[in-house]
């Protein structure tokens, strides 16, 4: 039975040999799943403004991000959600959930992680393993009919770049983008704007 390998971030995948269209499509699906999972991982590790206490840090606070992309002729829809499960004076527990859909195929995963709060009441960010914060800059993003002044945090790993756009006024991400070049060929570009939240000011 053929074996395959892949790694989150660089989206390296070794498909089974042979010209099968099904095998080719499977390879493409796995590459996109890895891309979406990588963005979810960045969210889970805490792409937030840590310089001050976050006004959104309450039990049940959530943000849902959604988008669509095409890669090598296949179209995918995906949703990522981050939610505060528990919080206290010293730490907060987050849930990160994603769902990716292609035709009748669906892939879903969720993880939780505790973050310690710093002396300012914010969350100190540590990039996922292998990622490097390559640069930060001020920018303006237009999301769901709203305009946000943001700080962009750009994380890189190999040929992969994930950018989190964090609202300056609220300290919560309003958009994520992903750009990578997998071994299957062709660049993957994901845009995940905030589409639903219960956080005031967003």
pTM over 0.85, yes/no: no
Q: For residue 38, what are its two tokens? A: 């990588």
Q: Domain boundaries in the chain?
A: 6-196
30-43 pLDDT per residue, tens = 667 667 767 766 66
Q: Is the pLDDT of residue 148 over 90?
A: yes
Kindly report the CA angle at 75 between 18 and 66, in degrees rounded to 5? 135
Torsion, CA 163, CA 166, CA 167, CA 169, rounded to 10: -150
Residue whose token pair is 């889970």: 44
Q: Give the contacts of 28 (CB within 8 A, at least 6 positions apart).
A: 71, 72, 74, 184
The pLDDT of residue 1 is 42
The pLDDT of residue 35 is 73
Q: Is the pLDDT of residue 150 over 90?
A: yes
Query: What is the overall mean pLDDT for the chain?
Result: 77
Coil, helix or strand for 90?
coil
The pLDDT of residue 146 is 92
Coil, helix or strand for 35?
helix
Distance CA 66, CA 44 (A): 16
Contact 122, 54 (CB under 8 A): yes
């Amino acid at each position: 039975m053929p074996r395959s390998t892949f790694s989150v971030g660089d989206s390296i995948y070794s498909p089974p040999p042979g010209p099968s269209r099904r095998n080719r499509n499977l390879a493409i699906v796995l590459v996109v799943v890895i891309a979406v999972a990588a963005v979810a991982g960045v969210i889970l590790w805490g792409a937030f403004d840590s310089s001050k206490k976050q006004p959104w840090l309450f039990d049940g606070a959530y943000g849902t991000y959604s988008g669509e992309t095409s890669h090598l002729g296949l179209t995918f829809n995906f949703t990522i959600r981050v939610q505060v499960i528990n919080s206290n004076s010293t730490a907060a527990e987050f849930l990160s959930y994603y769902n990716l859909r292609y035709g009748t195929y669906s892939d879903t995963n969720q993880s939780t992680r505790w973050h310690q709060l710093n002396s300012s009441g914010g969350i100190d960010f540590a990039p996922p393993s292998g990622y490097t914060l390559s640069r930060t800059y001020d920018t303006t993003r237009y999301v769901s009919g709203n305009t946000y002044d943001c700080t962009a945090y750009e994380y890189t790993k190999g040929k992969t770049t994930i950018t989190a756009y964090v609202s300056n006024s609220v300290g919560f991400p309003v958009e994520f983008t992903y750009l990578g070049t997998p071994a299957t060929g062709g660049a993957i570009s994901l845009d995940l704007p905030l589409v639903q939240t219960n956080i005031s000011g967003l």
